[in-house]
Amino acid sequence: MSSQEGGPDMQPLAFREYAESDMVERVHAFREEMQRRRSVRAFSDRAVAREVIEEAIGAAGTAPSGANMQPWHFVVVSDAGVKRRIREAAEAEEREFYAQRAPREWLDALAPLGTDERKPFLESAPYLIAIFAERYGTLPDGRKVKHYYVQESVGIATGMLITALHHAGLATLTHTPSPMDFLNDILGRPDNERPFLLLVTGYPAPDARVPVIARKTLREIASWV
């Protein structure tokens, strides 16, 4: 469709409206589905169809972003050798973190979750998705293009990816060893990309267990004014 003179190309909004009763039913069902989502640290090595991962990343790619720059890149890792290298590098950072860098308050907060420097899920899960934030883009002629609201944009896309994988029937775990620069080296990503998060996904192990936790109530997390 042609644009107005001097303006961007526009098209009709593909919006679908529902009756109010249907809206309530849909959002209630969605909330119940998301209530079942838990971070998992014990994964099965059971294979997952590549199409499931592709579709979930495609959904994440529809996220809003500053000036529509879409400043994200997803690297899907399934190769056993690459997963082993990532685990070794991540555990090296985690050992130093737990032994030297982590403040006592943070270690106390982690204690109920039973986490430590051992990360076997980085090898047992069928897929690792390394999410990179593009600090700037590069044109074919080498010129740099500034990206806006990179952290916010990539964070939204990551949330949508986690939701899509859960909706498909998979478990996930967000893993953020610090620093994560080793991901650029292992995965061959350019300097304009900074590791944002490592998302582990697959089927949970048959004997997977999760800590008993409570979610904050709606009254605690929201206000109306």
pLDDT of residue 131: 98
- Give the alpha-carbon dihedral of 117, 121, 127, 129, to 10 degrees: -20
Residue 1 has pLDDT above 70, yes or no: no
**Is 168 within the bounds of a domain?**
yes
Range among 90-94, 105-109, 119-123, 177-181 rated most confident: 119-123
Averaged pLDDT for residues 137-156? 92
For all residues of the chain together, what is the average pLDDT?
93
DSSP state string for 155-198 = HHHHHHHHHHHHHHT-EEEEE--SS-THHHHHHT--TTEEEEEE
**Is 224 within the bounds of a domain?**
no
* Strand-pair category, 193-202 with 127-134: antiparallel
pLDDT of residue 96: 83
pLDDT digits (tens, 9 = 90+) for 85-100: 999 999 998 888 777 7
pLDDT of residue 5: 67
Rounded CA separation 26/28 (Å): 5
Q: Structure tokens of 215?
A: 């979610």
Rounded CA separation 148/117 (Å): 34
* This prediction's pTM: 0.90
Averaged pLDDT for residues 46-68? 97
Indicate the number of domains in the chain: 1
Rounded CA separation 30/25 (Å): 9
**Is 191 within the bounds of a domain?**
yes
CATH number at residue 99: 3.40.109.10
Q: Structure tokens of 219?
A: 């009254």
pLDDT confidence bin for 213, thresholds 50/70/90: confident
CA neighbor of 58 nearest in space, from 165, 217, 181, 173: 165
Domain range for 139 is: 39-210
**Is 14 within the bounds of a domain?**
no
Rounded CA separation 8/2 (Å): 9
pLDDT of residue 4: 58
* Strand-pair category, 127-134 with 72-77: antiparallel
Amino acid code (one letter) for 95: R
**Is 31 within the bounds of a domain?**
no
Report the range of poorest mean pLDDT among 16-25, 32-41, 100-109, 167-176: 100-109
**Is 163 within the bounds of a domain?**
yes
**Is 88 within the bounds of a domain?**
yes
Contact 56, 165 (CB under 8 A): yes
Count Cβ atoms below 10 Å from residue 161 Cβ, excluding itself: 26
**Is 90 within the bounds of a domain?**
yes
Report the range of poorest mean pLDDT among 7-16, 113-122, 157-166, 212-221: 113-122
Residue with tokens 């997963």: 83
